[in-house]
Structure formats: C-alpha cells, structure tokens
Structure 1
Amino acid sequence: MRVAYLDHTARWSGGEVALYNIITHLGNEVDPLVIVAEEGALVDRLREKGIDVRVLPLSDKVRNRNRNALNLQAVSAAFELLTYGKRLSKLLKAEQVVCVHTNSLKSAFYGAVAAKLAGIPLIWHIRDHIGVPYLKPIVAQAIRLMSRLLPNGVIANSNSTLNALHLPKSKKTLVVYSAFAKTKNSGIAVEKKWMKPYVVLLVGRLAEWKGQHILLEAAKSFLPDQQVQFWLAGDALFGEDAYKQQLLQQMADDKLYNVTLLGHVDDIQTLMQQADLLVHTSITPEPFGQVIVEGMAAGLPVIASNEGGPTETVVNGETGLLITPGDPALLANSIRYLLENPEMRRRMSENGIKRVEQHFVIERTVTQITHYYAGLIANS
C-alpha cells in the first residue's frame, strides 16, 4: 500500500516523534510517502532512514497560525490551505497513493482537500484534546463536526482523545497508543540513595498547559535542602517564548537553585537513566503523554496528572501515582512520599517496564495501524 503521511511541521515534537516511530517500523505491507510543509528535524531524520520524504512548502503565516485565532486573516489562511490541498492532490495522484494519513490538525484540513480531489480514503490521526481550554469552544465544535464529515476514519492516541471528539458509533475509529520504539531497560532502575541528590525529571516542551510552573512551585518546598534536584528538559517551540521567560523569572524570584532548565535534549533515554522520578504536570487533559511511556520503559516511577491519556498509561499505585493537576503542594508531597519509599519505587520500576512490554511496543502499534488501513481501503 502506498500511503501518504502528512504533517504541517517538521519540528521534533511529540506528534512528530510518534510519526517517526511508526514510519520507521512499518513492514513490507506499507510503502510510505511522507509529505511535510517545511524542512526540519523530522525531515532530516526520516531521510537518514531512507524514507521517501517530499517537502511541499506552506507559508510560515499559515503553518504557525494560532489554532484559536479567529480574525479576518482566517479567511486568507483557509484559502491558502485550499490552494495547498489542490497542489497536494496532484502529487498524490502522480505517486499512486491509495490512502492519506494526516498527523496534525492543520494537515487534516488540507489533507481533506487533497484526498477528496484525488478520490482516495482519508484518515485523521488526532493527537490533541479537542475541547476547552486547549481550544476555544467554537473551534472545538467545528473540528468535531468536520471529523464526522471529512475523514473516512479517525485514529486517536488515547480513549480520552477519541471521546472528546463525540463521534457517532458508525465512524470507523481506532485507538492506538504512541508506542516506545527503543531498547527498553533490561533491568530495574538503579537504586541511587547513596548517590544523592535525588533527581526529579520533567520532560516536555515549555508550554503553560504542560504545567512546568507547577513543578517550580513544588520545588520551593524542598529549599534549602539540596538532596533533591529538579531537571526540566525541553524548550519553547510554538510561540511560547514568553512562558519560558516567565519560568526563568519565577526561578530567579524564588531563588530556585535546585532547579535546572536543560533546554532541548536529544538523548532523553540517557537523561532518564540519571533520574529517580519522572513527573508529568499537565494542567489540562494530556492527549496521551508519550514521555510517560518512555519513563516507564527506563524503569522510572511516574507521577502524572489524573486526567486524559495518563490515566490509560499509569496504573495508580503500581507504576506510579496519579494526582490532581495544578496542585503544587500535592505534587511536592507525592514526590516526598516516593523518595522516602525506595521499595515502592523499585516495585513501580518493575511494573512499569512490564507494562510497556505488554501494551506500548511499536510492533503492536504498527500492526494495528496496518490492519486498519487494509480494512478502510477495502470498504472505501
């Protein structure tokens, strides 16, 4: 099957990492063609793997347009997406593509135009929580309506994400988790209580809804004790530089010398091997939380928000703790509880590795998606 994968961005973010993992583990049943609207890390890494990647440029003002912006420019942006979709349809026809798989909301829209003009099935892979506060109510309603009408099928990265779409039972859907695609920790995370300080790690792009400011607030309660250090890996990607400056100011105001902003880190697995706990602090429902799976694969107990995708990955009390989001005191107490209970951390480490092996390996993900393609194409 010649399947086209569409994404409007080539930045190395969660959705693009998940797409890379899928494409680089496809078997012989699928011949992938990746079409991206800009050059970037995703394109470079796929080309290094010998994947057929085409860059069909889309203007920066459309690619970087805020998802909630409702103004006069929305009309011109919509027209440009329509024109882009028409150009894209010609490429799909020329390459004899039999199915289109979109990987982002913007690519879902121009992908719909291209697939309809090319007369081939369209799959929307939804990786965002379609609801408030991530989206304005009117934007979320519009996306829900279009998800009923435009794609032949919808893939979601969690049951939480799928449920937020409010799709009818007649729609062909699939929930497939963004799986771990590297070598898992062969043993249990090393008990490092003689190697203090303890390291509490948060991984994710710097964005307010990701809740890094909650962790900074929690870190205050560990001062002046220097036995616990907090590492934040990730950087501002999508126009979120103001939030990064807010975090830096918060660290300066509260003299948080126990917190380190690491910026973007390529080798997250090596970083995780140096940590004792992984925390995930999203204050709005996280669609999935791929880094949680990576953390469990590395043998790290996880403290995560008890909303959205993390409730499907973390087993409370067994692989980590699920807590109410946005509560710095509760987060701080949860961190203390696990650091003071090394045997519980060891048990959670063992259980987390087993859970990844049973539910979140890339081979399982690719098999599910490939079977879904075949069924959808056969019925179109």
Structure 2
Amino acid sequence: MGTGDKTKVLILADSPLPALRQGAMGRGAGQGATWLPPLANAFAKHGDLDITWAALGEPGTEAADEKRENQRFIIRPHIKAARDTLLGYALARHRLRKIVAEVQPQVVHCWGSERFYPSVLRGLDVPSVFSIQGNLTHYAEIGGLTDIWFWRRQWRYEGRWVPDAAVLACESPWSRELALHYWPGSDVRVIEWGVHPSFYEVDWQPQFDRPYFLFSGGLEWRKGLDLLFDALALSPDRKWTLKLAGEGPLREELEARQLPGVEWLGNLKWDELKREMSGALALIMPTRADTGPSVVKEARVMGLPVLGSTNGGLRDYIVHGVNGLHIDPLTPGQIAAAMQEVATASPDRLRDLGKQRLASDRTYFHPERAASAFRDLYLELVGK
C-alpha cells in the first residue's frame, strides 16, 4: 500500500529507463514510446507519488531494478512477443501479476493495446488506468492495420481489455470520441502526452531558398502516403521538395513511382529530425487515422505549421488558417492545394502561421501538464 502519505502507483509499460540513462534520442535511435521518458522526469516533481515502472523485455534483455528519486524502474526478461501472443499472453499475465503482488500498488496503470500489459487488468483488486496508444479497433475497421495474424489478434484483445479498466485514458478528444463509440459507458478521460523538452529549444527557420515540406512517421497506408504521392503527381512543375523521415511497407512501392523532388531520409535520430523540422515550410500529415501523432505536437512547440487531415488527434491541435491548414476532405487535390497555398505564401504570412497559438500549444503539450493530470487521476482513484 501507500508509503506514508504517498500514493503507490504501478505503471506497466515499455521502460523509459534506457532513454533516461542514455539521453532521449527518439525512435531513430531504437527508443520506442518516446513520450514516456519526459513523463517520468516530470513525475519526479510529484513527491506525493511513489511510482514503480515495470517492463518485460525481449529474450536477452538485461534485467534492471533501479531507484531514481520517487520512482523505481524494473525490467525483466521475457519470451518473444509473437510467441506470447500465441499463448494468449498467459505467461506475460502470470509474470505481471507477480510484479503486482510484489509492489502492492494502490493504482495500476497499463500503457498500450499494442503490447501485453493490459492483459493483467482483469481481476485486479485495485483501481486501474488503461492508456490506449492507438485505437486498434478503429484502425482495423478502416483497413489500417498490417494484415498479419499478430495485428488481427491484437485488436481483438484490445476490445476484451478495455472493459477491465476503471478508467480509459486517451490522448486527444478525437480518440475519446472513438473510445466512447466502441465502448459506450466507459469512463474515458483525455490526458495529452507531453513533448520532450528538447523540442522547445528548436528554432523554426524555414529555408525559403530551398523550400521543402516534411513528412515524419511510418510509411504506410494508414498515414495516407499513397494520397500524398497522388497529390505530388498533380504538381509536376513544383519548385519545392518533399522529404520523408521514416520507414514502412509502402516505401518500395512509392519509390517505384520515381516522382521528382522526393528525398528519402529513413529513420532519423532526434537531433537529425529536429534539424529537418526546423527548416521545413510545414509538416504534412495526410493521415487516415491517428490518435495523437507525436510529431504534430513536436512541430507545434517549435512553431512549425502543420497541414493535416481531420482524421485524428491533430484535428484538435490545428486551427485552420491559424497554426496550420486542415485537409478536408482528404483527397489528392485538397492535399496539393494546401501545399501550394503554403509554398506560395509570403514569408511574413508563413511566419504568422507558425507563431500563432505557439504559446498555448507549448503550454498544452508540456510533459509537466501530463504528469499533473495523471497524478490527479491517481489520487482521485484512491479517494484522495
């Protein structure tokens, strides 16, 4: 139970510890769940919480048990995720329950239906929170999941796990609307995940002499990359470049189209990504579904305008004509028109598009705001 006046919380998630040890460098450096390290740092300021982070790693993962201020970080090796999926996560559930019994928390918080952590929710005798990273049920409905057995099983698990949580935490109003559509009657809260503080230090300085737009994310159908390339084909004489940061199953097909003015950057570490973001005219995100794309939040805290669809959390982050443009309806023609509008805008107009709402965006996406919101939720669940 709680230590003194502290509320004891167990967070089951991919561990932020490696990024805390080495410094956060992003997905291009092999660090997943990039929003968790800044959240852990922000939790350190809340001395009324006693937090244990626990993760199960792939075979060969180095075990860890490390204490940092008011937080403990546990990492224990596990079997391969694909094998455990076939077993219905029976082994993961067994090992996670042993951690629950060891820690004896007052609140259990599980992150992400892409992993096995929510499998422990059923039968807990303490309140629980389930942070849903991506709404797999919706992605599956629109055909946005890779058609392999793992994802077909995983989105079905999501529907079984959600009812077991006392509270479902979503990172955007758009995500909350979906959650209530699929699981009506659930207690769904919106708690935005913060942006790493290093993005606040980046100055946006668009390169007007070598103009380019930037896409960052998985190169896949759900992200609307096929529509983006159809839009490029509508503008064969354009004077700007499209840069793509990321990898994914559509790359080979899109490269084969051999459209001019396209640069493939691959997966970038954060220092490289920040450099590309700082010089872009705008971030382009023609996604078909995205609960709350981190790169959009990162763009906005540095003042980079965003051109994006209304099919995701970015709908709520972007005010049309103020800090970006909505692409609605999501068609190649609308994408091409939005990019042309920005590419032909005066430098003053473009700078205004970046500066407007910047102060409020920087406040809204700060990790300390996320940590405070989760703290308040934990205290509410234990009756404090």
Q: Residue 209 of structure 1 aligns with which residue?
A: 222
Question: Helix, strand or coil for the counterpart of 1:273?
Answer: helix
Aligned to 2:195: 180
Q: Structure 2: any 5+ residue segments left out of the alignment?
A: 1-6, 17-25, 146-150
Secondary structure of the structure 1 residue equivalent to 2:290? coil
The yes-or-no answer on 1:261 pairing with 2:273 is: no
Cα distance in 2, alignment partners of residues 53 and 207 from structure 1: 34
The equivalent residue for 1:54 is 75
Displacement of 1:175 in angstroms is 0.4
8 Å CA contact retained: 1:278, 1:301:
yes
Q: 1:83 aligns with which of 91, 97, 108?
A: 91
Secondary structure at the aligned position of 1:192 is classed as: coil
TM-superposition CA deviations, 1:235-290 (whole Å, max 9, x none) = 23xxxxx433222323xxxx22411111111122222112121011112x211122
1:296, distance to aligned residue in structure 2 (A) = 1.4
1:19 correspondence with 2:31: no
- Amino acid paired to 1:200: F
**Distance in structure 2 (CA, Å) of the matches to 1:313 and 1:276:** 18
Judge conservation of contact 1:215–1:281 (CA < 8 Å) in 2. Answer: yes
Aligned pair partner of 1:248 in 236, 248, 255:
255
Q: Corresponding residue for 1:317?
A: 321
Instruction: Indicate the residue corresponding to 2:349 in structure 1.
Output: 344
Say if 1:210 and 1:187 are closer, same or farther in 2 by CA, change over 3 A: closer
Distance 1:52 1:9, change over 3 A: closer
**Relative to 1, partners in 2 of residues 1:24 and 1:325: Cα closer, same or farther, differing over 3 Å?**
farther
Residue pair 1:210, 1:282 contacting (<8 A) in 2 also: yes
Given that 1:282 and 1:305 are in contact with CA atoms closer than 8 Å, whether structure 2 keeps it comes out as yes
Once the 2 structures are TM-superposed, how far is the Cα of residue 162 of structure 1 from its aligned partner?
1.7
Separation (CA, whole Å) in 1 of partners of 2:178 and 2:162: 11
Tell me whether 1:110 sits opposite 2:113 in the alignment. Answer: no
The answer on whether the counterparts of 1:216 and 1:259 sit within 8 Å (CA) in structure 2 is: no
SS at match of 1:262: strand
Distance 1:168 1:333, change over 3 A: closer
How many residues align? The count is 346
Q: Which amino acid aligns with 1:262?
A: L
Checking the alignment, whether the CA contact within 8 Å between 1:214 and 1:327 is kept in structure 2 is yes
Q: Report the TM-score, using the length of structure 1 for normalisation.
A: 0.79
Partner of 2:3: none
The gaps in structure 1 that reach 5 residues or longer are 66-75, 237-241
| 8 A Cα contact 2:202 2:274, kept in partner | no
Q: Which residue number corresponds to residue 165 of structure 1?
A: 179
Cα distance between partner residues in 2 of 1:36 and 1:124: 15
Structure 2 counterpart of 1:20, which letter?
Answer: P
> What amino acid is the match of 1:96?
Q
How far, CA to CA, are the matches of 1:187 and 1:324 in structure 2?
Answer: 29
For residue 95 of structure 1, report the CA deviation from its aligned partner.
Answer: 2.4
Residues in 1 aligned to 2:277 and 2:295: alpha-carbon distance in whole angstroms: 10
Q: 1:29 and 2:43 equivalent?
A: no
Change (3 A) 1:17 1:187: closer
- Establish whether residue 375 from structure 1 lines up as the match of residue 380 from structure 2: yes
TM-aligned CA deviation for residue 321 of structure 1 = 0.5
Given candidates 327, 336, 342, the residue that maps to 2:331 is 327
Shift of the 16–121 alpha-carbon distance from structure 1 to 2, 3 Å rule, reads: same
Q: Quick one: structure 1 residues 53 and 122, their matched pair in 2 at CA, closer, same or farther if it must change by over 3 Å?
A: same
Matches of 1:312 and 1:303, distance apart in 2: 13
Distance 1:345 1:152 in 2: 45
Partner AA of 1:248 in structure 2? E
| Whole-Å separation in 2 of the counterparts to 1:187 and 1:21 | 17
Whether 2:239 is the aligned partner of 1:235: answer no
Contact kept? 1:99, 1:120, Cα under 8 Å: yes
TM-score of the superposition, structure 2-length normalised?
A: 0.79
